[in-house]
Amino acid sequence: MNKGYDDIRPYHDAEVPAVIRDLLSDRELLTAIGRYRFPTLSRWFAPVARKVIHGRLKQRFGAIGGVDQLQQVVRPWVRRILEQTSRGLRVEGLENLDANTTYLFMSNHRDIAMDPALINYALVEAGLRTSRIGIGDNLLNKEYVSQLMRLNKSFVVKRSVQGRREKLDAFNQLSAYIRESVQHGQHVWLAQREGRAKDGLDKTESAVLKMLHMSGKKHGWPLQQSLAQLNIVPVCISYEWDPCDKAKARELAALARDGEYHKTHDEDFRSIVRGIQGRKGRITIRFNEPLKVESDQAEDWCRVLDRRIYAGYELYPINYQACMSLYGELPDQAQSEQLSRADGHLASRLSVLNEDEQQQLLKAYAQPVLMKYQWNPNDV
């Protein structure tokens, strides 16, 4: 690949050792890890906590010489996270993938770190290559966060650029980078929309598909040909419980009440940590066949991609209970016997929220039921 991607691409193997050395001596990173790993020790003896963490990290990561080696070290860590915070991961649809073909995986987006991590974990467990990961630059406000992400095959999506010309340049660069990645045998993961679907409404933004087409349009290809060449695979991720659900509900309630919401300086980092460490219940990932849409309209591709994702939802008792709490009934196609398996997690989550926040949380958990069955309770 050309040097025109140096500001957004993941690190090359030759760059990995130096970046790891920088991270191992990054005081801010060691302090942040200490607060979560050794909170009491960090509060009273911060230098001691940093020294302990530095030693442990150097022992585990100090000899790593490339990206693949790093991912082999990270792989057992993801497995431990699943064992400690979930009730199991089920993966379906991998038979739809050809080991000799490169894909652009597009999924719904609920968790900043776990969505792409779990998709890559599912791929590598099946003997397939991992994907490069698109991540917004709004999450990279600290240098050590940017370095960590780019070590793990993440590339930067420039969301914070200002000005029409600057945005156009950023989209062209991103589109070309993704296309060249696929052409050179590198899978890519990209969320179907900008940011997480905090309200549970997973809906593909046509701007994402139009951005992907920009690099094909330069060759004179129509949108259908341009997108078909990327082998877009819809992927649906379903978490039984969202570790960040209460925080999302509070944010949405504040937006509805005040028309704005101001994040704290480390809120995204805390969301990443909460998403990793929090209880998730059961998790299901479903891979679809690559999209084939006979249309040059991005909106048509969005509709097909959305239908594939909706069909892949795994609905859990908490989803049905939230739907019943809001609307007093379920779609005719829904299996009402799911309600007999009470889920106390919904009540415990609602108990710490005010009424407006409770409504937001219920809507987020009920939304997948509405979308899977294409059901509008207002029409009943």
What does pLDDT average to in each consecutive run of 10 residues of the chain (380 residues)?
Answer: 86 94 89 76 77 87 89 89 96 95 97 94 94 91 86 92 93 97 97 94 96 97 98 98 97 94 82 92 97 97 97 94 92 64 83 97 96 83
Contact in structure between 272 and 154 (CB atoms under 8 Å): no
Q: What integer pLDDT is reported at residue 305 of this predicted model?
A: 98
Sketch the domain layout of the chain as residue ranges.
3-243+278-314
Q: Is the pTM of this model over 0.85?
A: yes
| Residue 103, phi then psi, degrees to nearest 5 | -125, 155
pLDDT of residue 50: 86
The domain 3-243+278-314 having CATH identifier 1.10.357: the answer here is: no
Q: What is the pLDDT of residue 101?
A: 97
